Amino acid sequence: MKTRKLGNSELEVSTLGFGCMGLSFPDAPPKEESIKLIRSAFDLGINFFDTAQRYGDNELLVGEALEPIRNQVKIATKFGFKGGTHQLDMDSSPKSIRASAESSLKRLKTDYIDLFYQHRVDPKVPIEDVAGTVKDLIQEGKVKHFGLCEADAETIHRAHTEQAVTALQSEYSMFYREPENEILSTLEELGIGFVPFSPLGKGYLTGTITANTDFDKTDARNIMPRFSKENRAINQPLVDLVVAIANDKNVSPAQIALAWLLAQKPFIVPIPGTSKLHRLQENIGGANITLSDEELNKIDTALKEITIVGERYPQQIQAKVGK
């Protein structure tokens, strides 16, 4: 697989990363199967793996899977929650950041973190203090690069002034294009890489979800307004568009969605996640598809005529996420 640099940094990674969060969901495969999948991703050319302290036992899983090949991969993890769990409040105080770093190093079975993201902007702690603490960790050799998640343009500028931000991780896909309003231009101006999560629209862009799809009762999409039955019906034209383009090129809708995303900027590195080997192979195939200027213009013209309805998250969660 080809590689990309995250902005102006020296952090060069595979064109696609692997989002490991789903391997710690309740319906995830058994541990040994998950470890095998992560190692298969590496064998297939992926060297960039994303986890977080907040994802339950995910760091332990990723650490065990990658320990034999640690010097050949880049590991990204995150800090910013008390105790590292989503049930507790945000905490990006310097003391908490340092505690999170030590915990992550131990759980990941490593002595350095390649990319250390603030998981969400903490309104109680000035971003300069956050960046300054990570800067100290970088000088100590425990962290290589600093990242932010779902930060707005002003926060990115302020953080970057204190310590160079290597990458921003936020949601971005044909299904959620808000970063195009301000974030992409900010990243390009400052030389910062972009790591989109949910590049397949939480599965919506695979072409396998319709208004009649019934999600398992444990599926988080049940509480997402964008995935209500009514909104899925309204948003169906986007799926129809992606499926039509995929059929024309004899590839899958997911591969078109990833190829489109990669074509937006050369500093974009999506991190699709999956628990299935055939989906992993399919995603990697998307990195090898090139859309012509004509095809991209056709897609963009069509996208302008499609209005996506429904918030990403329920109201109580939406207030806590960023850009």
Q: Report pLDDT digits (tens) over 20-56.
A: 999 998 889 999 999 999 999 999 999 999 999 989 8
Domain assignment of residue 174, given as a range:
3-200+265-289
Strand 12-14, strand 143-149: pairing: unpaired
117 has catalytic annotation:
no
Residue 218 lies in a domain: no
Which one of the listed residues 55, 117, 172, 204 is annotated catalytic? 55
Residue 19 lies in a domain: yes
Please state the domain count of the chain.
Answer: 1
Residue 116 lies in a domain: yes
Task: For residue 23, count CB atoms less than 10 angstroms from its CB and return exposed for 0-12, middle for 13-18, buried for 19 or more.
Answer: buried
Residue 206 lies in a domain: no
Structure confidence by residue, pLDDT tens digits, 144-184: 999 999 999 999 999 999 999 999 999 999 999 999 999 99
Residue 131 lies in a domain: yes
Structure confidence by residue, pLDDT tens digits, 67-126: 999 999 999 999 999 866 666 789 999 999 999 999 999 999 999 999 999 999 999 999
What is the residue-wise DSSP string for 52-76? -TTSTTHHHHHHHHHGGGGGG-EEE
For residue 23, what is the domain's CATH number?
A: 3.20.20.100
